[in-house]
Chains A and B, each alone.
Chain A
Amino acid sequence: MARKIILLLSALLLQLILLAQDNKVEMADTFRSNGKIFVVVAVIVTIFTGIILYLVRLDRRITKLEKNSINP
């Protein structure tokens, strides 16, 4: 089992090396290497968390309303 996992991991790593060599197409490599991409991801995740918290609150409120309307 462990051998299989190591084989799988090495196959995956090989793929990454192969991809890294293909540098002809311009990508946002600097943006990644200086870590500024994490700022963008942090902002997006914060906004997403806010929306989800709002949805959860709405869900809870509707559940409460349902309970009140079935057993008044």
Chain B
Amino acid sequence: MNKWWWKILCIILLLYTLTAGLLWNNVPRVPNLQETIRNLYFHVCMWFAMMILFTASVVQAVKYLRTNDLQYDIRSREFAVTGIVFGILGYATGTIWMSYTWADPNTPTTASFSQIAKEPKLIGAAIALLIYFAYLVLRDSISDIDKKARIGAVYNIFAFAFLFPAIWIIPRLLPSLHPGGEGGEGGNPALNYKDLAPQMRTVFYPAIIGWTLLGVWITSLKVRMRFLKEKNLIEQWPEK
């Protein structure tokens, strides 16, 4: 294991998140959310990790376009794959969370489902993830190595640019049950300094770093495996 210190940091931060996040009896008592407010340390962190991994992916894509070095192409793809995994986890956890907090207990499940399915944040996140699925389909279906890398990198930049309207801007402009929508308190839920209870930040920020480092760790393993597999393609062995 080379450069192991951040992997240990990742383990420590995540163990802290899992124990302090569940045990520490300091969360604000919010009606309707109740104890599920602790999902902030898990569900929200999935999206943060996804956002950071996609940013890393687009950076590597730009690096590839500038240098034509295929190692950046491999890094870019693997960051995007891990980002998609975190995105799916964020979506799945969000589905579980909302079915217990947004659904109206007085109406039948189907009625509240039709209400929830109109949620702009859900539709936006689904579109953003589908665009990234299309990135994998597009990149991996081209057999020419250089063409694959170049088209993949350009599409990656497009997909990253579309993330912002799909998950950050449009859901804020429409009425939404998700925090941050129109009619709510607006702004950046959980990031807003005045919005989040101060005692929750002591777990929330380490949790973001921990989950992101876990994503980077998994990505680094996948990248190194890909380098081993295609070492004849890469001009010089990359320094890690």
Which A positions have Cβ atoms within 8 angstroms of B? 15-16, 19, 22-28, 32, 37-38, 40-41, 44-45, 48, 52, 55-56, 58-60, 62-63, 65-66, 69-70
Contacts and interface: CB of A to CB of B under 8 A. Distances in A.
Contacts of A41: 18-19, 22-23
Contacts of B221: 55, 58-59, 62
Contact of A44 (B18, B199, B228): B18
B195 interface: no
Given A15-B199, A41-B18, A55-B218, A69 B228 contact: yes
B29 A24 contact: yes
A27 B19 CA distance: 18
Contact of B224 (A27, A55, A66): A66
A19 B237 CA distance: 56
B29 A37 contact: no
Interface residues of B, number: 27
Contacts of A22: 29
B11 interface: yes
Q: Which 8 A-B pairs have the closest CB atoms?
A: A25-B29, A28-B35, A59-B1, A62-B224, A25-B31, A41-B22, A22-B29, A44-B18
A11 to B, nearest CB: 11
B30 interface: yes
A5 to B, nearest CB: 16
A25 B34 CA distance: 7
